[in-house]
Amino acid sequence: MERVLITGGSGFLGHHLTSRLRSSGFQAHAPSHQEMDLLNVESVEVALAKIKPDIVIHTAAVYGGIGLCSSEPQRLYDVNAQMHENLFAAMVKHPPRRVVGIGSSCAYPGDRTDTLLEGDYEQGALHPSVAGYAATKRLLLEKLRASQLPFQFPILSNLYGPHDSFDPERSHVVAALIRRFVHAERNNLQEVMCWGTGRPERECLFVRDAADGIVRLIQDGIPGPTNLGTGEGITIAKIAQTIAEIAGYKGEVRWNPEQPDGALRKVLNIERLKAALGWQPQISLKIGLQETMAWYKGNCADEEQ
């Protein structure tokens, strides 16, 4: 049974990934912050020496929505870069057989509007709205290459699902919209104001599908960068409309163009993944949104009224 260490195992993706690994026969270890502090290299060394992982999956990250990414790019870069530095320094002393770094579609060039191929990942400037955080994802890929360890680098599209962060500072587009429309419906608000124009196109990947895809990649051993998503784009306006319908909200939806849109389009080409594994996501957007909203209502919504 292969031993796997998951950094950020108590986080959004890490929570689902740990569960999926265990159900697939891996011995998955998800150390808490007290057990492995990624900002302390000695702490990381101790955890690696204790667990002796065959595979390290690096999911840990400090991140936020477009507001936080725009307002604190340097802090996001500094903290995430330091976590990368400490992990890779510790792995020099305690090397696993393989490393899996989690990439993000936000690190593709910010001006591209075509469907994105893996070879495009580092071929252009980052979008200014996410530059600090996205730069650390490119840095992670650089460190994976420099480590000379066998590595995999799944590049994920926008994740959503149960256990997501619905904090206004940290939430991504789907979680932020769910929070907003549930609140509006419960409080009989006449209108909901959303950020930007609603025109940008995004690709939404249910978190359990993401976890399943990552585990399938690990089992197959496909090396290097691999896009992992749905391959289908949808405008933010359409996402908002669908969430409003699921929430039962009947009021007006308005858009504030003074707030940032971010990149115009982020949609991944997933042909490499499909050809290699015959894999594609199983959860439709509507079903995923329904489950996510139900989880939010049962776990978070009462605290935010």
Q: What is the DSSP letter of 260?
A: -
CB contact set of 191 (below 8 Å; sequence gap of 6+)? 184, 251, 252, 253, 254
* Residues carrying an active site annotation: 133
Alpha-carbon distance 272 to 274, whole Å? 6
271 C-beta neighbours (distance < 10 Å), count: 13
Alpha helix (H) ranges present in the chain? Answer: 12-23, 41-51, 66-71, 73-93, 131-147, 173-186, 207-220, 236-247, 271-277, 285-299
Alpha-carbon distance 35 to 31, whole Å? 5
**Whether 58 contacts 253, CB under 8 Å:** no
Place of tokens 């904090």: 167
